[in-house]
Structures are given as C-alpha cells and as structure tokens.
Structure 1
C-alpha cells in the first residue's frame, strides 16, 4: 500500500497556462511521474540548462526535478534578475506568522507600497523580508534601507539581520561620520546598505553609488518625504537614471492631513497603500488595550497673573499691525504664531496701498517679527510654565535669540521689565531645583508617576518584576525640569533625560549618538525606569516595553501623537495620559485627534488619493514566484566593536534550514546526503559569499508547510 504523498520543499516545473501578465498569477499541476525517473533527471540536469520558462508546480514526496517546456518563452528579460531564484519568494517562520504581515509582504514585493502600521506591529519585519527576497532575486543588485537618524540606522541593521540573516559580509552601515573613500569601497564590495538619506544622496551625486544598481529602496519614517527633504532628493535622483527599482515606504502615520499624504505618495512613486489602525480586524489579536486619559489642567492664580501681564506686552505690537491694516482685528488670545506668519507672507506679497515707504515697511516687518517671537513665548507659558517663558525672554535680552531691535524695544517697555522681574523672583534663582514646579501640569505629572509606581508595587506579583514610564515634552527646558523634579523620588523613580544631538547654547549640550544608544539600552534593560524625552524618542528607536506614556504637551500634528502613543501596549495593557492646559492647548489636542481619524478614514477608502500608475515590474513576465514558508536560523548578532580576528572566527551567515522528510539528522555537515547529492547541492544551491541561492532540486529536503501560489486580487 502506497503511503500518502507529502509535499516537499521545492516542486518540479510543469506547463504553464496563460492567465494574463500579472506577476503574481500562478497555477499548480500534479505530475504523477515515477520516483526513480524524477530523481535520475534531477541528478543529470545542470543548473545552467534550466529554461527561462521553468516554474514551480507540485512534486513527488521524495524526489524533485525541473521539467522543461521549450515553447514557454518569457515576454521580457530584466537585467540582473536571477531566473532560478525568481521562482520562489521566501517567508520566515522563525517568527510567528501573522496574516497581515504576510499579506503586506506579498503586495510589497510587486508594487511600490506605503505601509502604515501602528508602532510595534512589525514594519521592520516586513522590510527585512522584502529586502531578503530582492537580495535573492538580484544577486548583483544593491538594496538600501534609509532611516532619518544615525541611531535608527544602527538599530535597523541589527533588527533586519536578526529576522532574515543576510550575511554580515554583504552588509554595510553608512552615516556621515564614515569617510567618502570608505563608502566608495563599501559600494563596490557590499550589497545591502543601512544609511541616512543624506549619505545616499551625496554618494549618488559623486558617483560612488550607481543608481541603476539599486533594486530595492526601503524608506523608514516615510511621512518626512515632503518638500525638499533628503528622501525626496534621493527618489528624484534615482528616477533620472532608472525606474527599475522597488520602493517600500514605512510609517506609523502617513501625514498631518490628506494633502500632505498625497504629496508623500507622489514623491515616493507609491502605487499601493497598506494601512492598518488599532481598529483593523486582522491586527486585533496583536494589539493590547491602551487606555487614553485626557487630563485638563487649569492655570493657578500665579500663572493667570503672569499671563495677563504678558498679553499686555503682546497687545502693543498686535495693535500696531491692526492699525496698519496688515492684521485682522480680533482678540489678542485668538491670534497664533502661525496666523502671524501667514499675515506677514500676505503683506510681503500684497502690501496695503497706504504703506509706500521702505521705512514703514521695515517698521511693520519688525512688528511682525516681534509678534512671532512673543507668541512663541505665550505658547511656552501655557504649555510648559513660567521657567520656560523666563528662559526664552532672557535669550531675547541677552541676544542669543531675537534681534537688536527686539532687545532695545523690550528694554524700554515698562510692562516687560516688570514681568521679567516677577519671573526672576519665581524662577531666576540659581539654587538647584528651586523652581521645578513652574506649571500646574508638573505637579499633576509628579502625582501620576508616584501613584503608578506605588500601584505597581502592590500588584507586582501580577505584572512581573518591572514597569517603565516614558514622558514626552517638546522643549528641553521642560525635560530638564521634569527630570530634576522626579529625581527627588529615588530609588523608586530612577529617571534619565533623553535629548537630541544638537546643542542649544552652553547650558544644554546635546547627546551624542553613543550617549543616546547607551541611554536607550540602559532603559530597555532596567537601569532606569523613567525616561523623559524630547521628540527624539518618538520615532523608530526600540525603547522596549513601556506601561505608561505621559505626554506633557499637545501638538497639532497627528504624527507626533501617534508616534508617542505607539510606545506602549506592545506586550501588555498600557496607559497613555495626555496633560493639556485648559483652553488653547486642549483645543489643539482635540483637533489633532480629529485629523488623525479623518486621515485613516480617507486612506482606507483610497478614492480620494491618486496613486502612481507606472509601477515598475521587478519580476519578468512569465515568472510567477511561489511563496515558501521556512524556518531561518540566524547566528547571534556581533556588534562592530569586535576585533577583526574575532569577527572572522564568528562570521555571521544565515543558515536556511528545513526539516528532512524522514526526521531530523544529527550529521550537521552532510545533512544525511550521499556524496553525489552533497556535491550537487554544493555546486548549484549552497549559499556562497557570491550569489546566495535557495535549493530548487533534490530529494534531501522537505516542506514543513506547503508552498502557496501568489493569487492576484
């Protein structure tokens, strides 16, 4: 009695029926051929003799061989595409298989795709799988992963390696700190690049990077591709020489409004959009509940007094502009920095007929500049408190910010001098931690943090050994104040600040890339349990599991809000607290929430979006790749700090493994192959340092999961 047939790792080639020219169309046929004949044919065939029309169908249980059809001719030949590798695309099972990730990868291989996923749901995983398949399909091609910051570049190269294990000797990390001559050498000898867009643009301009060699371009934080951003420059530069490259754009949210989203899609030549929100059905099993609490804080009497004094100063300059008919007549509090900027632009384009002399125009320009600066200070007061306002006004007086005209005018203003004196009494002392509670939100934040840690200690047996909090604030002054305030609650609260690389004057020196990575690592491993961060902690960086997110300020951009919220609820239930001041800041938060939901609603419909219609084919017509799901074993990641001798002894190459049809073997080197089979494997299919291949014949490997055809939708 014959045993039931088992589907093996790779299947034989058979006749193809014409189902159009879609590269994802495929059909299976069952060939009932004698086992011995199949195996003999497999051993006799030379890999170079495979016909371009070969394609995968089902196989005999133990024996694999390609069958040929002489009249099956491809409609096109794409330079650099490996016909033998192109019959398969690989999907890893060393990570849990999620349907939404599989479906997105399937689309991204064949279309320029914008992937919008909430933070923590595997955008990097999708990128790694797509990159690996192009690495196989184009053995001489280059693949680039662009990230906007150096720490993100360093993080993504390790993350992608741990997923798919592209050999380290084929991979390069390139930032501006790497000298051009070394980058030129890397472009010649490496195939997969993790780099900032500025570096890629510079290397394209100087000819170090050859445009038509790039076959796959991954763009992280793709919502930044606006205006003349380096992302936009790279795509425009590549498009001058070739359209034969695939783009995969990744972002937690694609833009601030639908107009911005459309601009990103146009710039990045996007022909397909994959968007998921927390409410999407297919990601529900992987999203933990996130409770969002909006806490509205009222200004205290001291703050109200400071606010009234400050508005009197602003009124002087707003009234001047109103009298000159260059600004709408409305209440002082209803104006904003953005509205002043728009009014100034309109004035420059169409000055009123009564403003003729250059002296008058110069005076009005000065009033506009003063209003813009003062309204910035007003936002600081409402959102961050008296100390932030005091630091800003001091910078106007000492000349580090603002103009000489602003210094002289404000110095003559009695109300301004009186206000500055009041702020100095409240916040000007140089004693350590004297003025930490400069806004009612700070006291509320302190109570929330202390309450969280106390509650965790009571429920420690339920939640585990540790909990972490992340606090976001837009301005460094507030970050420093919050850190100083929480530092008083040691050892329960172990707090650390986290800021960007740029230095702002002598008092606030930025963190270097090494310092940033060191802080993130310490926070992830439990050295700190509270991280107070500016926007540098919002995007991309793997901060780890966070149970509580506190947003100290609100921002109009839904991008910032989504990035912050995505830091919690990854492995267990999380909580997000939005601290907003009553009035203007509360309105900003409400508008941001509305914008976020409307963007997702419009993108899900896609009828309001125009997609790129000239999508480049990266798989020749006549080739129909079939998915093969397989376990990929990856060697442990070794950091760059290892010595060359140690790196060579622990060379990181991916070992792609499958299960034997008749059980596992303990003979590691030979994999239970005969001499003839081992020689054939080594000659044709072994992953070498030159051209990695996936085996396509022989009886020595079998599927743990059935290969699946790509079905066009």
Structure 2
C-alpha cells in the first residue's frame, strides 16, 4: 500500500504508520524526528513538504552537511514529489552569487549545504521570510557555532521547521541545545523496539574481532610510552596535571590552564604539553592503525617547524622506534584479519563497506586488497590543505561504481552520514569509534537491506578496547535517554517555548513589532523590514548609504554572520587582505595562532608587502594567547610591521569584536569620509625608494631594516653592489658571513 497525495508521485512512498504519525506532528508544530538509519527519514521529509505546500504558499529549504548528501536529496525529491523538476534546485558554492540569486527567486524546493545557505542569507540573496518550511537533515549538527545553527536561527521564527537525525547524542543538554537552536516544539522518537517500527527494522549484529599486537610492536610502543611518561612527569611536577594517567582529550584541554601560569615557566609547559599530545597521537597511530600510518605521521612531524616537533623527532627513543619499524617487514595484524574477512564475504557474493578513520589507512587497505586482486573503491572527503582527497564528481563516480560494479568500498567518516551508498549486509570497522553518533551512523550502512553484520577490529590491550566500550556505553545511554525522555523532553520544550513566547511578546511590544508570520504576507514582511528605521536613517536622507559595505574574502565567510546585521556584505576572492573597507583601507585578520603560524612558514612578510598596495592598510590580531613563539619574538615582528612597513596593528577579543571594529571602520570611511569601496588587483607601481629597497632586500639575509641601513650608508644601490666585504661589515647589523654572501651573489658568474 502506498501514500496517495496530489503532491506525491503515485506508487513511490510506502504507507507506514510510524512515518505518518511523525508527519502529522511535523505539520502541527516544529518537530525533531529521531529515527534510525534506513527507516525513511527522506520519505518523512517529502510527506511533510507535500503537507505544508498543500496548505500554504511558500518555498522549502533542505539543508544537509555534505555535497553527496545534497545530491542524494535532490534525486529523492525528484523521485517522490509531484512538482515540476525545474522547481527543485541544488545550490552550491561553485555557482556564482548572481546566478544563485536568480535561482532562489525562481525555484520552489531548494537543497543546499548550510554553509551555502548561510552565505546567501548574509548576502541577502536568500530571504527566509519567503519560506514556509526548513528541513534540517542530520540535525545533530545544530549546535555551537555551526552554520546549521546560524541558518536555523534565521528561519525558525519565519517558517515551519523539521529536524531529522538518527542519533542526536547521549547528552541531554546537547539534545536541548539542538531543540533550542531549531525552535523545536515537539520531539518524535521512534526506536527499533516500537511495535509500529520493528517490522521494518533490519537486524544488525555487532561482532568484535580481536587481534594481538606482535612483540616487535610492543617493544617500540614501550619506547614511545617511556618518552611520553617523561613529559607527563614534568607536567605533574609543575602541577599542570594531577596524575600521569591522562588521555589525549585531557592533554588537549591543558593550554588554557597553562596560559594562566607565570611567564618564566608558561612557554616551557606549553611546549612539553604539545610534545605529550604528539607522542600520544603517535602511540595511537602505531597501536590502532599500523606501521605505515605511524611512519607517515613521523614524516609530517619532520616538516613541522616547531620546537615540540623537533624535540620529539630528536628524542633518541622516538628515533630508535622509527629505525626499528623501518627495518620491520610486518604490518598491523588488523590488515591480515581484514583481508581474511573480506575474502570470506566475497565468496558469498556480498558487498562490504570498510570504515577507517585516517586517509593513510584507507589507502593502505585499498592497496592491500588490490595486491590480492580484489577491486576496492576508495571514498574519502574533498581535498584538504594537503591537496589530498576526492572532488564531488569523483565521489559520485565512486558511489555509482560501488553500486554497479565493485563489491568493496573503503571509506573515511565522509560516508557515515545519510548517504545511500548501497544496501549492504556487511560493514567492517578498521577501528572502533568512541562516539555513539558515529557508531550508529557507521552501523546504519548495514541496516538498509534485510539486516547484516558489523565487524569491529580491535587490537587487544590497546585504546581500541576503551574506544569500543565507550561507544557501546554512550549508545546504550542515548537509547535510554530517548526511550525514557520523550515525554520529559516534550514537557520541558513546552515550558521553554512558553517562556520564550513571553519574552518574545515583551520584546515585540517594546519594539512595536507584530508577529509577521500570522498577520502579513511575506511580501509585506519584506517591505516592513526594508522600511525598518536604523541609526543611520537621518544620514540616508542626505543621499548617503544606510549601511557601509564590507567586501569579505570568500575564505573568511565565517565572520559574515557577525557583520551582516550591521553592514552590507559582499563575498569575493581577494588577492590582498581579508576585508576591503574603502578604496584605501584593506584589513588582514589573523588569530593569535595564525599570526604565529604565518611567522613560522614565512607567509607574513609577503602578506605585509601586499597590504602596502593600499594607502591605509591594517592588521587585526584576534586574541593574545601566543603559544608557539616566545613573546619577545612576537613583539619584534610586530615592531617591524608597525615601524618598517608602517602598518598599524589592532588587537580584538574575539570574532565578534573583530566584526564590530570592521563595521565602525567601514562606516567611518564610507559614510563619514564619503569614500568609495574598491578592490586593488595586481601590483601597485612602486616609488623609486621602494624599488631601491626591494632590490636590496633581495640580497642574502637582508631584511627591511638592514636594507634601510645599507641604503642610508651607501646612498645608492650601485654603491652597495660594488662595496667590498670590509665596507659592508661597517654597516650596523651586517656581519662577515652576510657580507661574504652578498659579495658572492653580486660577483659570481651566472653560468658557473
């Protein structure tokens, strides 16, 4: 029996009572639906869309956390909804804002990632007041500072909201946070035990498979553990930790405590803490992943220009462990066990999805299977900062190939959420995960067929054991919460919503606003918003703009949400700076950590030189906790920027404070000073002095200060180039070695 509805295509959605009950609630009030993987959350979304659109006019936005999942929703909505396919629209960041603006106007059902929706809300090309329904798939992301939260907050008072998730988490406070951010008024929880759900549930068995680490691994793990213990003892002796029995997450949380310590010990403790974190991670790599992944991590440490990385890679015990492992011709026993299991499954002509946490491990598994003449499809996330990864097209191609040709898919966490990869009866975890959300999502890959098995590889007497127990315990806790708390959740939500309504009424009375949802149409609402008075209205009568415009580099989109309330925001790819405030003011924003990193990797001076192409450049540093470089070196760099390059530096407390500074500066430039906003591309013509200084700075070991000293002393570039070593060393800051290098560059024949 199938659902019959004018907006649902015939014979496409099976009539299931539990789905219809959820939809009935969703049509009455903002609802969070908690439903296991494979039980038809997409069908619930389609039925809710049909119900809403049959009662009222408006548009629908579906947000999903990844592009493959967005594509999947697009296909599903075209499959289920009896709506003109041209009105069902995918929007992504590759489409220009101008085209997206036209698409938002012409479409009816929109599917996008929350980041795209956020950007377009900020740019004011997406107008939440035009929408009747927001569907947040994988709604457990609606916490903290996530784009889900931003989008939900803009929609929840203007449209209906449906949240969908298989696993909201085991923390009741987190569930309330999700509900609060989405404006949820009612929670519908359907578990496998519910009588109306159980007939449709695919039974999945969890089968842990334990392997024993080889003695050779144990020897090298002991070397690494001893190196870690030394660091932990130092931290304990200095009262940073109470016991040397700590885990990685506890170590990662030490920085705030250390920053409150005296300067004479603070930086040393930060370094030791960083070393402990890196050693803890190295041990985890060897214990749970294998030799290859550990050695790849070692190679990454060698490329890190930090004291903590150098201290570790120079530790004799770490060096010995690397040497021993390089000479070993054995890998982690998980690989052999995994190969054995895959071969058995393929004999049954079944498909299997293998999950591994790290891309290095995924690659190793694919290579091993290939060596054994087993075709395995790799599925990883999009390119990261190392340039590794798969494009959206490659991901789609991989999924299609797995469905139609191959029987093995090897994936990182990117395929955990929602993606209908294929109906499989076997899933293998290369390692257990301590997160109940991820465990449920991974296991859900085996719940789409008639039921299957989840095989978890566990290295005995390692953190694998703890992670496995933690994941199971958290999942059990979450199920207990969901089972016992639906009534409590809904009662509490009712109380919270009543409190919020009272507060909202007070605010509305104070500000002379009305509930636009029930009184006026979306067009009238837009008109009221346009005519809403602002502090700058008096100035607008004289022909000046209501708000300043800030051009934001597209890589700095996260700040847009803080700017959009007070300024017009345009996103563009900028060659110079992060924000353009006028034809003469460009701003480079850096967190304290990024400021340090840009000194270490030598990006900073290039960025500073580029900023000089604007007449009035500015650097804003967010925060003041510098942990990798001594504060004397930080101050020296700041003095150089401010004095040698004449670029002022401002400090801000946080991202909101930065946004406030940018708005005030933009208003001063554009509204008070009446300056236009303009982007500079390419090189600004250098003055003669700048060209001379530029040439001299090209000499070995010569920076801005030394270049200035040389030019002051010799008066011309020619005199510097013809000066002897002895004459060069007479200049302040130029030693014999630098003088020799300069003479060598100037005199050495090019072809020698």
Q: TM-score scaled to structure 1, two decimals?
A: 0.66
Residue 145 of structure 1: aligned partner: 62
* Residues 171-250 of structure 1: pairs in structure 2 closer than 5 A: 171-238=88-155, 243-250=157-164
**Does the alignment pair 1:600 with 2:502?**
no
d(CA) in 1 for partners of 2:314 and 2:412? 35
Q: Per-residue displacement from partner, 1:310-339 (whole Å, max 9, x unpaired)?
A: 111112211111111111223xxx321111
d(CA) in 2 for partners of 1:619 and 1:412? 65
Residue 200 of structure 2: aligned partner: 286
d(CA) in 2 for partners of 1:137 and 1:451? 54
Deviation at 1:514, TM superposition (A): 0.3
Deviation at 1:214, TM superposition (A): 1.4
Structure 2 unmatched runs, 5+:
502-514, 520-752
Residue 33 of structure 2: aligned partner: 115
Q: Per-residue displacement from partner, 1:622-662 (whole Å, max 9, x unpaired)?
A: xxxxxxxxxxxxxxxxxxxxxxxxxxxxxxxxxxxxxxxxx
Deviation at 1:541, TM superposition (A): 1.2
Specify whether residues 514 and 90 from structure 1 end up closer, same or farther in structure 2 by C-alpha distance, changes over 3 A only.
closer
Contact 1:476 1:534 in 2 (8 A): yes
* Residues 396-545 of structure 1: pairs in structure 2 closer than 5 A: 396-399=301-304, 403-426=305-328, 438-454=331-347, 456=348, 466-490=349-373, 493-503=374-384, 505=386, 509-525=388-404, 527-545=405-423
d(CA) in 2 for partners of 1:280 and 1:442? 39
d(CA) in 2 for partners of 1:489 and 1:423? 24
d(CA) in 2 for partners of 1:452 and 1:154? 30
d(CA) in 2 for partners of 1:601 and 1:92? 38
Specify whether residues 444 and 411 from structure 1 end up closer, same or farther in structure 2 by C-alpha distance, changes over 3 A only.
closer
* Residues 82-101 of structure 1: pairs in structure 2 closer than 5 A: 94-101=12-19
Residue 658 of structure 2: aligned partner: none
SS at match of 2:89: strand
Residue 385 of structure 1: aligned partner: 290
State the superposition RMSD in angstroms: 2.5
Specify whether residues 211 and 366 from structure 1 end up closer, same or farther in structure 2 by C-alpha distance, changes over 3 A only.
same
d(CA) in 1 for partners of 2:7 and 2:103? 27
d(CA) in 2 for partners of 1:288 and 1:296? 25
Contact 2:427 2:446 in 1 (8 A): yes
* Residues 660-679 of structure 1: pairs in structure 2 closer than 5 A: none
Q: Per-residue displacement from partner, 1:553-607 (whole Å, max 9, x unpaired)?
A: 1111111100011111323231110112223221221121111121122123225
Contact 1:104 1:274 in 2 (8 A): yes
Specify whether residues 411 and 533 from structure 1 end up closer, same or farther in structure 2 by C-alpha distance, changes over 3 A only.
closer
Q: TM-score scaled to structure 2, two decimals?
A: 0.63
Deviation at 1:197, TM superposition (A): 0.8
Residue 710 of structure 1: aligned partner: none
Specify whether residues 203 and 245 from structure 1 end up closer, same or farther in structure 2 by C-alpha distance, changes over 3 A only.
same
Residue 426 of structure 2: aligned partner: 548
d(CA) in 1 for partners of 2:128 and 2:12? 34
Moved more, 275-284 or 121-130: 275-284
Deviation at 1:473, TM superposition (A): 0.3
d(CA) in 1 for partners of 2:437 and 2:99? 36
Candidates 22, 25, 30, aligned match of 1:104: 22
* Residues 21-60 of structure 1: pairs in structure 2 closer than 5 A: none
Q: Per-residue displacement from partner, 1:55-99 (whole Å, max 9, x unpaired)?
A: xxxxxxxxxxxxxxxxxxxxxxxxxxxxxx9xx997965432111
Candidates 452, 455, 471, aligned match of 1:574: 452
Specify whether residues 256 and 381 from structure 1 end up closer, same or farther in structure 2 by C-alpha distance, changes over 3 A only.
farther
d(CA) in 2 for partners of 1:275 and 1:92? 28
Deviation at 1:511, TM superposition (A): 0.4
d(CA) in 2 for partners of 1:574 and 1:502? 32
d(CA) in 2 for partners of 1:568 and 1:125? 19
Moved more, 88-97 or 541-550: 88-97
Contact 2:346 2:407 in 1 (8 A): no
Q: Per-residue displacement from partner, 1:455-506 (whole Å, max 9, x unpaired)?
A: x1xxxxxxxxx4201000000111011111111232xx32111111023536
Specify whether residues 90 and 169 from structure 1 end up closer, same or farther in structure 2 by C-alpha distance, changes over 3 A only.
closer
Candidates 49, 57, 67, aligned match of 1:131: 49
Contact 1:115 1:248 in 2 (8 A): yes
Contact 2:435 2:470 in 1 (8 A): no
Residue 223 of structure 2: aligned partner: 309
d(CA) in 1 for partners of 2:403 and 2:16? 25
d(CA) in 2 for partners of 1:407 and 1:170? 54
**Does the alignment pair 1:590 with 2:469?**
yes
**Does the alignment pair 1:297 with 2:215?**
no
d(CA) in 2 for partners of 1:341 and 1:619? 46
Number of corresponding residues: 497
Contact 1:500 1:536 in 2 (8 A): yes
Deviation at 1:198, TM superposition (A): 1.1
Residue 565 of structure 1: aligned partner: 443
Residue 81 of structure 1: aligned partner: none
Which has the bigger relative contact order, CA under 8 A and spacing at least 6? Answer: 1
Q: Per-residue displacement from partner, 1:417-442 (whole Å, max 9, x unpaired)?
A: 2112112223xxxxxxxx6x621111
d(CA) in 2 for partners of 1:91 and 1:151? 24
Specify whether residues 595 and 498 from structure 1 end up closer, same or farther in structure 2 by C-alpha distance, changes over 3 A only.
same
Residue 347 of structure 1: aligned partner: 258
Specify whether residues 209 and 414 from structure 1 end up closer, same or farther in structure 2 by C-alpha distance, changes over 3 A only.
same
Q: Per-residue displacement from partner, 1:231-250 (whole Å, max 9, x unpaired)?
A: 001122335xxx13111111
Q: Per-residue displacement from partner, 1:243-277 (whole Å, max 9, x unpaired)?
A: 13111111110124222222111211111111222
Contact 1:468 1:546 in 2 (8 A): yes
Q: Per-residue displacement from partner, 1:187-230 (whole Å, max 9, x unpaired)?
A: 11112111111111111112111121111000111111111000
Contact 1:246 1:618 in 2 (8 A): no
SS at match of 1:282: coil
Deviation at 1:613, TM superposition (A): 2.2
d(CA) in 2 for partners of 1:585 and 1:359? 39
SS at match of 1:184: helix
**Does the alignment pair 1:370 with 2:275?**
yes
* Residues 677-692 of structure 1: pairs in structure 2 closer than 5 A: none
Specify whether residues 102 and 266 from structure 1 end up closer, same or farther in structure 2 by C-alpha distance, changes over 3 A only.
same
Contact 1:245 1:618 in 2 (8 A): no
Q: Comparing both structures, which one devotes a greater share of its residues to helix?
A: 2
Deviation at 1:411, TM superposition (A): 4.3
Residue 746 of structure 2: aligned partner: none
d(CA) in 1 for partners of 2:53 and 2:338? 49
